[in-house]
């Protein structure tokens, strides 16, 4: 049986670049890849899947939280790649799981594990529960050489815990940090925030 994969990493860890490299490899072997992207991600254009390194391609399928994925859409595909999987609903993740079981097609999802408050996104949560294979795409902290695991949000170049969970942006708004730098850069310690035990 084909597997459901979750490749997660902090912002700037080249998740989309990895996705585009996998798509290229399949295409070089004359194998069909279907690329899925959440409709809400319009940073580089509605249908464009683009890495910060500049590589890009068009998405084959745009999805919303309420999308229903007809199985016939995937029948000729050798692999399904999902960009920004954290924005998918739990229902979409479950449908992708069915694709791996019913059609025996591997599905590789790329995305953030947590938001800037260190809480799981709904799509990431469901992937952590259902994926056969979970692996981290690593990057370094923007402020030191430790591994970057958290996503620090900036508002006017000042670290913050305020604002909506879904607030699209790139380096001007989010930076990868280690736990120590994340905690020390916030105006008040993250550990002192309400709800943190």
**Catalytic annotation, residues:** 84
The whole-angstrom separation of Cα 50 and Cα 131 is 24
**Whether 79 contacts 106, CB under 8 Å:** yes
**Whether 142 contacts 181, CB under 8 Å:** yes
105: which residues sit within 8 A by CB, 6+ positions away? Answer: 2, 74, 77, 78, 79, 80, 99
Q: Where are the beta strands (DSSP E) in the chain?
A: 4-8, 33-38, 48-50, 56-58, 61-63, 79-82, 107-111, 133-136, 150-155, 158-160, 174-177
User: Which has the closest alpha carbon to 181: 139, 154, 142?
Assistant: 142
The whole-angstrom separation of Cα 62 and Cα 37 is 5
């Amino acid at each position: 049986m084909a597997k459901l994969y979750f490749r997660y990493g902090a912002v700037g860890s080249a998740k989309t670049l990895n996705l585009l490299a996998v798509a290229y490899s399949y295409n070089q072997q004359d194998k069909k890849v279907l690329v899925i992207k959440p409709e809400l991600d319009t940073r580089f254009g509605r249908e464009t899947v683009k890495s910060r390194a500049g590589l890009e391609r068009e998405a084959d399928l745009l999805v919303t939280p309420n999308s229903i994925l007809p199985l016939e859409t995937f029948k000729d595909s050798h692999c399904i790649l999902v960009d920004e999987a954290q924005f998918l609903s739990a229902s979409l993740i479950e449908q992708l799981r069915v694709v791996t079981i019913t059609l025996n097609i591997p599905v590789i999802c790329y995305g953030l594990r947590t938001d800037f408050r260190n809480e799981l996104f709904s799509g990431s949560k469901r992937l952590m529960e259902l994926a056969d294979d979970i692996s981290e795409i690593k990057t370094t902290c923007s402020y030191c050489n430790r591994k970057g695991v958290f996503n620090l949000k900036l508002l006017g170049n000042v670290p913050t815990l305020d604002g909506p969970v879904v607030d699209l942006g790139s380096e001007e708004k989010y930076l990868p940090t280690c736990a120590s730098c994340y905690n020390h850069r916030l105006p008040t310690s993250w550990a002192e925030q309400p709800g943190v035990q």
